[in-house]
Amino acid sequence: MSVKIRIKDIAERAGVSVGTVDRVLHDRPNVSKPARAKVEQALKEMNYQPNMYASALAYNKEYVFYLLIPQHEYEAYWAEIEDGAKKCEEVRRDFHISVEIVHYNRYDDASFKAECEEVFQKKPDGVILVPTKLDTTRLFTDKLHENNIPFIFLDSYMPDLKPLAFYGQDSFCSGYFAAKMLMLIASDEKEIMLMKLTKNGQVVSKQQDNREVGFRHYMHDHFPHIKITELQLPLDNTRKEYDKILEDFFTSHPDVHHCITLSSKAHIIGDFLLMTNRRDIQIMGYDMVGKNARCLKSGSISFLIAQHAYMQGYYCVDALFRAIVLKKKIQPVNYMPIELLTKENVDFYKRTQL
C-alpha cells in the first residue's frame, strides 16, 4: 500500500516552505531557481505522483470545447458523433467541461470559413474539427497553432496540419477491406456498380477518396476482370430524381447484381430496391445509422462497415480533457475499428464500449 505524501513532507525534505512547494506543484510564479530545484529534487527522491484529477477539481476552472461538424440529418453518422461528444461532456461535468456544437455546410468553403472564424472569436480552450479541403482547413489550424489552442481532427486525417490527435478509420485499409468483403458474395460477377454522392461532379470527402484508393487497389490485384461502373448521384437531388436515375441505371445494366458505396448513404439505393422489389440486387455501404439498418434487415443492403461514430465523438472530447485539464500526453493517431455488420448481427452491435 502506497503512503500518502503530504505537501508538508515535501517541504521538510526540500528545506523550503509549504507555500513554495505548493507554487512549484501548480507551476505558479515567484519561486526562485534554487528553491524550485530543491523541491523538484525532493519530488524525485520521494517518487511523488500528483493526483491530477484532484488538482483539476480543486482548480475549479471552466473549459469550453467546440465541435465543428458538417450539417446533417438527425439519423446520420454525424449525429452519432454529436451524441458521443455530449456523453463525454456529461461524464466529465465535475470538471466544468462544456461542449459547444457548431455546424457548417460541407459543400461551401465560405460557410466553413465563417464558422471557423466565429469559433476562433469565442476563444475556445480546445477544438474538435472535421476538416474540409487542405488549404482551407490550414487557414484555421494555423491560427489555432499561433494562439496555442489544441485541436483534434475527426473523420479525415491531415498530418501536415499537426493536430493534437486524430480519431477515425484508416481509410485505405477500410476501402481495401470493403472490397474483400464484397467479393465474398460477388466474385462471380462481371460488373459491379460503385455509387458516389457528388457535388458538382466531385466527391467532397477526403475519407471517401482514400477508401476508394484502397477499394480499387484490392480489386486491381485480385479481381482485375470485374468491371467497376460508377454511378454519380448529386447530393441535392430529390427522392424522385434519385429513383429515376436508379431506374434508368438498372434497366440499362441488367447484369449488375452487386453495388457498393463508400459513404453512409447506401439506403438511397436500398430503399429503391425494396420499393421496386428487386430482390436480385444488393448494395454494401458504411455506418450503422437507422435507415441503413432497416435496409440491412430487409435484405437490400448486404453488409455495412461500422466505425463506432459514437465513440469517436466521445474519445475526441475525452482527449482534449486529458490533454488540457489533466496535462497528459495524448496518442496522436487513433484508428477506430473496421467492423462488418450483417442482418444477423446488427441488433447486437453496440455503439458504445464505455
pLDDT (average), residues 194-219: 91
pLDDT (average), residues 305-325: 94
User: Which percentage of the chain shows pLDDT scores above 70?
Assistant: 93
Q: pLDDT, tens digit, for every residue of 264-305?
A: 999 999 999 999 999 999 999 999 888 999 999 999 999 999
Flag whether pLDDT at 166 surpasses 90: yes
Instruction: Output the furthest CA–CA distance in the chain (Å, rounded).
Output: 87
Q: Tell me if residue 264 falls in helix, strand or coil.
A: coil
The rounded distance, in Å, linking the Cα atoms of 270 and 285 is 10
Flag whether pLDDT at 3 surpasses 80: no
Q: To the nearest whole number, what is the mean pLDDT of the chain? A: 90
Cα–Cα distances (Å) from 221 to 179, 214, 225, in that order, read 11, 11, 10
Flag whether pLDDT at 27 surpasses 80: no
Return the residue matching grid coordinates 482534449: 320
DSSP-derived letter for residue 16 is S
Flag whether pLDDT at 337 surpasses 60: yes
More confident residue, 165 or 206: 165
Flag whether pLDDT at 99 surpasses 90: yes
| 3-state SS track over 129-191 | ECCCCHHHHHHHHHHHHHCCCCEEEECCCCHHHCCCEEEECCHHHHHHHHHHHHHHHHCCCCE
Amino acid at 142: D
Torsion of CA 201, 175, 240, 274, to 10 degrees: 160
* Range of weakest confidence among 2-16, 48-62, 199-213: 48-62
Q: How many residues does the chain have?
A: 354
Return the pLDDT at 1: 39
Return the pLDDT at 292: 94
Return the pLDDT at 354: 54
If 0-12 CB within 10 Å is exposed, 13-18 middle and 19+ buried, where does residue 316 land?
A: buried
The answer to whether 286 touches 304, Cβ cutoff 8 Å, is yes
Flag whether pLDDT at 169 surpasses 50: yes
The rounded distance, in Å, linking the Cα atoms of 115 and 110 is 9
335: nearest Cα among 219, 217, 221, 207: 207
Q: pLDDT, tens digit, for every residue of 247-259?
A: 999 999 999 999 9
Cα–Cα distances (Å) from 10 to 16, 20, 30, 56, in that order, read 9, 10, 18, 20
Flag whether pLDDT at 335 surpasses 50: yes
What count of other Cβ atoms lies within 10 Å of the Cβ of residue 230? 10
pTM, to two decimals? 0.81
Q: pLDDT, tens digit, for every residue of 233-245?
A: 998 899 999 999 9
Flag whether pLDDT at 353 surpasses 70: no
